[in-house]
Amino acid sequence: MNVGKICTRNTVTIREDKTVREAAKLMKEYNVGYLIATLEQKNIPIPAGILTDRDIVVKCLFNGYNINEVKVGEIMSTPVLTVSESFSILDTLMKMRLRYNSIRRIPVVDEKGHLTGVLSLDDILDYISKELNEITQIFHREEPLV
């Protein structure tokens, strides 16, 4: 199974030149804990970094920075690690785990590097859970051999 089939497609993005206040407003509006910071190439979003609610607290508020002035690009996590839609789930998990402190989500891009979704650990766990449930149902339907 490849990540393009199980990733979340409705991804909330923000341009890296927007303020942290604008980012926090989007997070609240869409009830998410992260945004994919993007660059625009011919009106097509290219992942440039990831901004989490934790980044806002630790890198901005804790240091006393003004969220009305600080830009997303100044505190987002970079460089952004991405995977192609055709990557396998296992290869993607390995890539996520090898990153410093591991990462919980990774932007998914098409062959041109354009953002198409985000794969999170929750997406992977949902997929594995459904697969295990199907396997369990198959075993329960089979007749005993004895």
Domains of the chain: 3-141 (3.10.580.10)
Instruction: Report d(CA 38, CA 29) in Å as an integer.
Output: 19
pLDDT band (50, 70, 90) for residue 131: confident
Alpha-carbon span 17 to 46, nearest angstrom: 14
As a whole number of angstroms, the distance between CA 91 and CA 109 comes to 15
Answer yes or no: are the C-beta atoms of 37 and 107 closer than 8 Å: no
Q: How confident is the model at residue 56 (pLDDT cuts 50, 70, 90)?
A: very high
Per-residue burial over 130-145, b = 16 or more CB atoms within 10 Å of its CB, e = otherwise:
eeeeeeeeeeeeeeee
Kindly state the average pLDDT of the residues 102-122: 91
pTM given for the model: 0.82
pLDDT band at 142 (very low <50, low <70, confident <90, very high): low
Q: Does residue 100 register a pLDDT over 70?
A: no
- Copy the structure tokens of residue 51: 């901004």
* Average pLDDT of span 39-57: 88
